[in-house]
Each structure stands twice: as C-alpha cells, then as structure tokens.
C-alpha cells in the first residue's frame, strides 16, 4: 500500500543516489506536478537544483508573477524567469490545426529550453514531472509501469512527454511517473507545498493557446484571460473552487449576432467548461446551479469586450475530451 511518508523517503534516497552532487534542471510550469517535483528535489539536493520558468504568454491572469513570488520570496527556491511571450505567439500565428498548434508550441518550448539551459548550465540531469496518465496517454506503444503490461494508446501529444530530442544531453529524473494526480497532491502537501498550488486545477502545457479554437492572437488571449478569470473568481467567491476538477472558459472563433443597449453586436461566444473528475481520464460535466451560470454569463458579456454570448458545455469524457483542442 502507498503511503506518502514512505514515498518521500524513498524518492529522496533514489534522487540522491541517482544524481549525486550533479546539477539538475527543472522546467517549472506552476502546476502541482512540477511544483511538487521542485520541492521534492530541493529537499533532496538543495541548490544543485535550478528551476526555469518559461513564460509562453499562455498563462492565466496574474499567474507568472504569483509563481515567482511564491517560490523566490516565500520558499527561497530560485526561479529563472524567461519571458518568451513574443516568440511563442509568432510561432503559432495563423495556425488553426490543434495538433499543429501543439506541435509548434512544444517545438518552441524545447528551443527556448535548450537556449536557456545552455546559458544557465551545464546540467547533467533534467527533472520532469511526468505522471502516470501522461505516460499512457502519450505513447503509441508503451509499457505499463505498474503492471508491466504493454499498452497502446495515443490521444493527444502532451508537450511535456516525449517531445524532447533523441540526442538529449541530459539524463532524466522522473520521480512522479508512477503517480496519479491525487497522489501527487498528497505528496506535495506532505513536503510543504502551499495549499494554493496543491489544490490548483490542472492546466495544460500549451495553456490558453489550446482554449482559443482556431487562430491565436494577442487580442484573443487577453479576451480569454479575462473571461477565464471571471469563471475562477465566481467559483472562488462562492467557496466551490474545489468542487471541480477544472473550471474554465474556451473562446470560439465563430461570431454570432447579439444586441447590447440599442446596438447590434457581432462577436464571439465563450464556452464554460466546468467538470468533475477523479483523475482526468474520465470526466462529467458539472451540474451547477443556474444562478451561477447566470452570474458568469452576465459578467462575461458585460465585462469582456468582444464577447456577446455564453454557452455551457454539457459533454462528458468520453466522448468529449476535457479540453477543446
């Protein structure tokens, strides 16, 4: 049976035995996985760990600033902040195909990562917060690390797994690869990660870029960021943030007719995606009160310029995926 204490002790022992006094590089995303990994490694090897945060420009409102503040100021784990917003946006300009978008973002991520690791390095090891579901969803053919059985599944190209070049100069450290999300949360909590990060909803690697269906522009990013903030703000205010696995907004490229005051509008719809799930592998759309939907709808249409309609996604997984791209 799995106990957190035993896992922490064993993981720290394994990490130390594996990396010795060599330097380890970690790409911090701000999510619970990479943050837990950072705390675990910091505990195991201290300042032999370097955390790099690449700001792709696809984060939620206020997130990059908050992340650096928590790590640097509160916990004295130095974060190398890399502002790469413009180059990521340039990479996906005009791209509408979801897999192509993911591929380009993943590719650019590796490029920035390589450049920056050269600047900050040399490093011997690369730490990755790969989880068990990432491993099975991302591999065409793979070996189940728990049962040893062969499995063949590919759903989406998650850019945090398998995207690294074959001639990788680093050796990998992946201490979370046998864990499910709820186990990572327990682990994070046990090693002192703030509750704010421990219970944060999962967020995909390519971020808001895959929640803007079709072409991503700076303007659409700002629009979605504001709508997304309202969704999280309202559930936080009502004290129900933790009732959801994820709760977010999706921006559609189509436009529809509306009316505001005595003006005709022709603008984008926002989709609300509020779901419950145990592990992200299956999910159910949340049966939220109509009143909550009404508040979100009113606020989004009134406060976010460029949106004139809000719809609610009532598709579970399967057959839908959680994300729209």
List residues binding ligand XMP (CB under 6 A): 155-156, 158-160, 202, 204-206, 246, 280, 317, 321-323
Sign of the torsion formed by the C-alpha atoms of 125, 126, 127 and 133: negative
Q: How far apart are CA 134 and CA 118, in angstroms?
A: 27
Shortest CB 247 distance to ligand XMP, Å = 11
Residue 267's CB: how many other CB atoms inside 10 A?
18
Q: Which is nearer to ligand XMP, 78 or 316 (CB)?
A: 316
Q: Which is nearer to ligand XMP, 158 or 299 (CB)?
A: 158
- Contact residues for 77 (Cβ-Cβ < 8 A; gap 6+): 38, 39, 42, 49, 51, 71
Q: What is the end-to-end Cα distance of the chain in Å, rounded?
A: 37
| 256 labeled part of a ligand binding site | no
Q: Which is nearer to ligand XMP, 33 or 234 (CB)?
A: 33
- Contact residues for 277 (Cβ-Cβ < 8 A; gap 6+): 245, 246, 283, 284, 317, 322
- Backbone phi, then psi, for 135, in 5-degree steps? -60, -45
| 33 labeled part of a ligand binding site | yes
Shortest CB 138 distance to ligand XMP, Å = 9
Shortest CB 303 distance to ligand XMP, Å = 25
Half-sphere exposure of 277 (CA within 13 A, CB side): 23
| 31 labeled part of a ligand binding site | yes
| 32 labeled part of a ligand binding site | yes
Q: Which is nearer to ligand XMP, 15 or 135 (CB)?
A: 135
Q: Which is nearer to ligand XMP, 18 or 201 (CB)?
A: 201
Shortest CB 128 distance to ligand XMP, Å = 11
Shortest CB 5 distance to ligand XMP, Å = 27
| 34 labeled part of a ligand binding site | yes
| Known binding-site positions for ATP | 29-35
């Amino acid at each position: 049976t799995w106990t957190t204490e035993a896992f922490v002790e064993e993981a720290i022992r394994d990490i130390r035995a594996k990396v010795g006094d060599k330097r380890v590089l970690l790409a911090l995303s701000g999510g619970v996985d990479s943050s837990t990994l950072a705390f675990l490694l910091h505990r195991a090897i201290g300042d032999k760990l370097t955390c790099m945060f690449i700001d792709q420009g696809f984060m939620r409102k206020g997130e990059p600033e908050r992340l650096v503040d928590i790590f640097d100021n509160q916990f004295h784990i130095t974060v190398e902040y890399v502002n790469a917003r413009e180059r990521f946006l340039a990479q996906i300009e005009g791209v509408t195909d979801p897999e192509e978008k993911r591929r380009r973002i993943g590719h650019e991520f590796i490029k920035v990562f390589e450049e920056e690791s050269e600047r900050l390095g040399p490093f011997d090891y690369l730490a990755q917060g790969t989880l068990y579901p990432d491993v099975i969803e991302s591999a065409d053919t793979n070996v189940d690390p728990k049962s040893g059985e062969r499995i063949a599944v590919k759903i989406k190209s998650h850019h945090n797994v398998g995207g690294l070049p074959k001639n990788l100069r680093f050796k990998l450290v992946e201490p979370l690869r046998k864990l499910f999300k709820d186990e990572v949360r327990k682990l994070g909590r046990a090693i002192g990660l703030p509750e704010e990060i421990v219970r944060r909803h999962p967020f995909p690697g390519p971020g808001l870029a895959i929640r803007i269906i079709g072409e991503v522009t700076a303007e659409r990013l700002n629009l979605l960021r504001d709508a997304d903030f309202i969704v999280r703000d309202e559930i936080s205010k009502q004290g129900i943030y933790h009732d959801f696995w994820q709760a977010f907004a999706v921006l559609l490229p189509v436009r529809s007719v509306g009316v505001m005051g005595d003006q005709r509008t022709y603008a984008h719809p926002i989709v609300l995606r509020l779901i419950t799930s145990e592990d992200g592998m299956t999910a159910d759309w949340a049966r939220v009160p109509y009143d909550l939907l009404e508040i979100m709808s009113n606020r989004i249409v009134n406060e976010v310029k460029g949106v004139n309609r809000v719809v609610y996604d009532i598709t579970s997984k399967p057959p839908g995926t959680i994300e729209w791209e």
